[in-house]
Amino acid sequence: MSVRKGMAIALAIFIVDQLVKWWIVGPFALEAKGSVYIVDIFNLTWVENRGISLGLLAADTELGRWLLVAATAIIAAIVGWLMTRPGEEGDRLGFAMILGGALGNIVDRARFGYVVDYADLHFGSFRPFYVFNIADAAITLGVAYLLIRAFWPRREKEISNA
């Protein structure tokens, strides 16, 4: 995959994430509703995630908020740089997913002081995930993709191109 395609995928993830969050925060007004039943295994549930993944390292102060914005921006910059390196063609999809998701969550934290989470997947009372958003899903899938590629045997052609 080319760098241009990778950046286009990252941009598309960012735009879709932000559009859905705009709808959740604005016209749909999920915050006022709290939780909305969609189907037996999925609700829309308002969560203000002030931490990083799984709500860890909550940033409850303005300084903490901006330090978290800075730290995640640095990580996003590194991922963006990794996408441009020669020999990373096979990993660009994973990097693009991580970058697009990270940018979406960075914008939330800068605008609101928290990340807007709303997707509540559950099976009865069992919740395999915390409430999440499109950006979180993209980051998780991007990391999973990179892990699978790291442990999957590479084809001869791919090794010779690296």
Dihedral, 36, 38, 41, 46 alpha carbons, nearest 10: -30
Which helix (H) or strand (E) segment holds residue 49: the answer is strand 42-49
What's the maximum distance between 2 C-alpha atoms anywhere in the chain?
56
Q: Which of 17, 91, 108, 117 is catalytic?
A: 117
Q: Label residue 32 exposed, middle or buried (CB < 10 Å: 0-12, 13-18, 19+).
A: exposed
Cβ count near 41 (within 10 Å): 11
Cβ count near 93 (within 10 Å): 19
Q: Which of 36, 105, 35 is nearest to 75 (CA)?
A: 105
List CB contacts of 115: < 8 A, sequence separation 6 or more: 48, 49, 50, 105, 108, 109, 133, 135, 136
Active site residue 17: no
Active site residue 117: yes
Q: Which residues are catalytic?
A: 117, 136
